[in-house]
Structure 1
Amino acid sequence: MKIVLAIDSFKGCASSQELSAWIEEGIKEVYQEAVVQACYIADGGEGMLSAIMQNIPGKIMTCSVHDPLMQPIDAQYGILEDEKTAVIEMAQVAGLPLVPYEKRNPLITTTFGVGELVKDAMKHGCRTFIVGIGGSATNDAALGMMQALGYRFFDKEGHELGFGGEILEKVHRIDESHVDKELKACEFIVACDVDNVMYGPRGSAHIYAGQKGADAVMIERLDAGMKHFTEVLKHKLDKDVAHNAGSGAAGGMGGGMQAFLNAKLRSGIEIILDQIGFDAHLKDATLVITGEGRIDKQSLMGKVLSGVSKRCVSAGVPLIALGGGIADEHEEHEGVDALFSIMRYPMSLEEAMEKTRAEKLVKQSTKEIFRLIKLIKNSAS
């Protein structure tokens, strides 16, 4: 029996690596002879760097950069074994957890640190970049990132602009004279799992800025600023990206990277599954186990569960999903053969997310699933 594990982290509770180890222990208690292959998974947000680097040979690099409030921090990125491909996780330098709750304000937070990571990787010879843009604290349409890479932005009076989403409404001229010429030769693949556009009711500000500290007035200002900036992009760079699916991801990061870097936006989970050679793991697999902290209707809309289920259906391999909880709305399995919650009795969210308890629940649930599989298998024989 060959079991492939491709489970996402239970956010705030356990990593993909920890969950995989717990599940393997549960399997081996019932099927000691089972072959278990763990593929560490993430969907493009927090944990993407770790997931890829745990599966693919390469090295982790550390460099000094700036956080969303332009405070110095040390951050990591990966260089794969080809020594030309860098893996950058935006959350490392522009993630929401880096900003204290009382200081969250997308008018001033910047993506500058993301550009610094790219710049450092270019110095080490990288020309292909896989960039996960989930979990951001920003709404600056990648302006900060571009500033770190040498772009300069000016208002109507010719004054150079500072940082943050507040400058969107002021950009009048774009200066590329200080941009490294090698940047044009770089390829950017962006892990993006939403289809929001840059402005409007489904735009970056209206959908996400509230989570990043914006009040109603700020949201309207950011939305108007984003609309103005997309017009500047259209007229100054001849790039019309405002209504591209995913252009509004991470506060307009998707659209900004398309306009300045000709970035390609792809599903985060699809990028990771391709990078780790997931399809090869499915050969001769008896079963795949996937899952995430909460399984709901969003789980099958571009997240880990969605990506894994499509690959399993194509390969004809059964798929079981484990979740901390399963929403009532999730009635259709859509490529998942069975869904199981690890919860065994009523408890608060805080209790469920306590790591020792979660470990016990995951192992118990895994053992019960494989006891049933063993019973059915023995009955059939």
Structure 2
Amino acid sequence: MTESLRVLVAPDSLKGTLTAIEAADAITAGIVDVVPAARIARMPFADGGEGTVDAVIAAGAAARVDRVAGPLGEPVDARWALLGDTAVVEMAAASGIGLVPQTRANALAADTFGTGALLLRAVAAGARRIVLGVGGSATTDGGLGALRALGARAYDGDGEEVRGGGAVLHRIRRIDVAPARAALDGVEIVLCSDVANPFAGPGGAAEVFAPQKGADADGVAALDAGLRSWAQVLDATCGSDLATAGWGGSGGGIAGGLQVAVGATAADGVEVVADALGLDAAIAASDLVVVAEGSLDEQSLLGKAPVGIARHARAAGAPCIAVAGRIAASRDALLAAGIADATSAVEAAGGVDLALAEPARWLRAATVALLERNPGLLHGARD
């Protein structure tokens, strides 16, 4: 091995155990254990959902905190990031499931007003492009709250303004989206999600995700009926076909609502983050790429961060290896995805409980084991 080995460490978070930054620390320590003189570049990563703000701040973005309404109207301090004229906002910071108890009332009442308020704060700060991660929401309001925060107004059959969460969607008969469109004039909204569920109906936002937010069977039925009715209003106003379209169910339907009402676009979160962080340039300057996440499994193979990074590494001719909390995908499947070898903290510790008790220690040990069994990757200076 040589002193010139250049390693890019680009982990996602190991949810529930280590942040992406903490994972990068553990992996870096493991690399130094084996190759003390390695030149290591750290790029904590995310797939457009939770952790994306932290990733871009670690890459040099300015951290911002604004107090906005939480999913049930209580004030919350929501953190977001500004990098040049691009803002990165996580729906979970303002309208997230972690901000409320999981009860049926919350599932029906929670709204996205705070997320819309963060979009306005980003515009006021000079953002002309806003990347919105729509994972981890507590809401099923079809984006009504966010649109109201942006200036849109929804009305019932008597002309009274409608406010609230998913429980009120069925009352809406008309919406004026012009103020929201004016507030975002000249601003690109990019939605990041790995969810392709429809807005409503079978497999839609309410049926699939509302039970995770505390809704019982009656609550799910009410929310789905509300989304269907809301979709009809949006369709009539915006000339769309929202309810059964094969997209839009992310974030309790905020993805569909914002796409139809204000022209937001959906994008692969990994690719958006890769572009924002300069992933390709970092890979070009590296001899080896190390990725990580909590569980390397079948979901990972559908395009989660480690596999997305591995795809970029393979295109650049750089070898990519992975450490994880646990591994459920086959080695052949990982190899086909561009990951040359992988091991886990569970393997290094000899059991799940031990790995969970000291995740950083065993992720570091897994890194050491992976490098030691792949000495051919440690000579650096790839062509």
Normalization by structure 1: what TM-score? 0.92
Q: CA deviation at 1:374?
A: 3.3
Matched residue, 1:268: 269
Over the matched positions of the two proteins, sequence identity in percent amounts to 34
Partner of 2:108, secondary structure, is coil
User: Does the alignment pair 1:340 with 2:343?
Assistant: yes
Aligned counterparts, 1:173-184, within 5 A: 173-176=174-177, 178-179=179-180, 181-184=182-185
Matched residue, 2:102: 101
In the aligned structure 1, how far is the partner of 2:349 from the partner of 2:63? 41
User: Does the alignment pair 1:189 with 2:193?
Assistant: no
Matched residue, 1:226: 227
In the aligned structure 1, how far is the partner of 2:201 from the partner of 2:352? 37
Matched residue, 1:69: 72
1:239-294 per-position Cα deviation (integer Å, ceiling 9, x unaligned): 22334443111111110110112111011111101111101111142211112111
Matched residue, 2:6: 2
User: Does the alignment pair 1:372 with 2:373?
Assistant: yes
| One-letter amino acid of the structure 2 residue matched with residue 264 of structure 1 | T
1:91-129 per-position Cα deviation (integer Å, ceiling 9, x unaligned): 111111101234763210010001111112222222221
In the aligned structure 2, how far is the partner of 1:330 from the partner of 1:28? 26
Alignment: residue pair count: 372
| One-letter amino acid of the structure 1 residue matched with residue 41 of structure 2 | Q
Asked if the contact 1:192/1:246 (under 8 Å) is kept, the reply is no
Asked if the contact 1:248/1:255 (under 8 Å) is kept, the reply is yes
Partner of 2:284, secondary structure, is coil
Let me know the Cα RMSD of the aligned residues: 2.0
Partner of 1:367, secondary structure, is helix
Matched residue, 1:13: 17
Q: CA deviation at 1:31?
A: 0.7
In structure 2, relative to structure 1, the CA distance for the partners of 1:284 and 1:176 (3 Å cut) is: closer
User: Does the alignment pair 1:30 with 2:30?
Assistant: no
In the aligned structure 2, how far is the partner of 1:11 from the partner of 1:376? 28
User: Does the alignment pair 1:47 with 2:51?
Assistant: yes
Q: CA deviation at 1:352?
A: 3.0
Unaligned 5+ runs, structure 2: none
Q: Which runs of 4+ in 1 moved over 6 A?
A: 375-378
User: Does the alignment pair 1:317 with 2:321?
Assistant: no
Partner of 1:332, secondary structure, is helix
Aligned counterparts, 1:25-174, within 5 A: 25-55=29-59, 57-80=60-83, 82=84, 84-102=85-103, 105-174=106-175
In structure 2, relative to structure 1, the CA distance for the partners of 1:330 and 1:217 (3 Å cut) is: farther
Unaligned 5+ runs, structure 1: none
In the aligned structure 2, how far is the partner of 1:125 from the partner of 1:193? 28
| One-letter amino acid of the structure 2 residue matched with residue 278 of structure 1 | L
| One-letter amino acid of the structure 2 residue matched with residue 66 of structure 1 | A
Normalization by structure 2: what TM-score? 0.92
* Range that drifts further, 229-238 or 340-349: 340-349
Q: CA deviation at 1:314?
A: 1.1
Aligned counterparts, 1:175-324, within 5 A: 175-176=176-177, 178-179=179-180, 181-324=182-325
1:209-256 per-position Cα deviation (integer Å, ceiling 9, x unaligned): 110011111111211211121111111221223344431111111101
In structure 2, relative to structure 1, the CA distance for the partners of 1:104 and 1:300 (3 Å cut) is: farther
| One-letter amino acid of the structure 2 residue matched with residue 19 of structure 1 | A
Q: CA deviation at 1:310?
A: 1.4
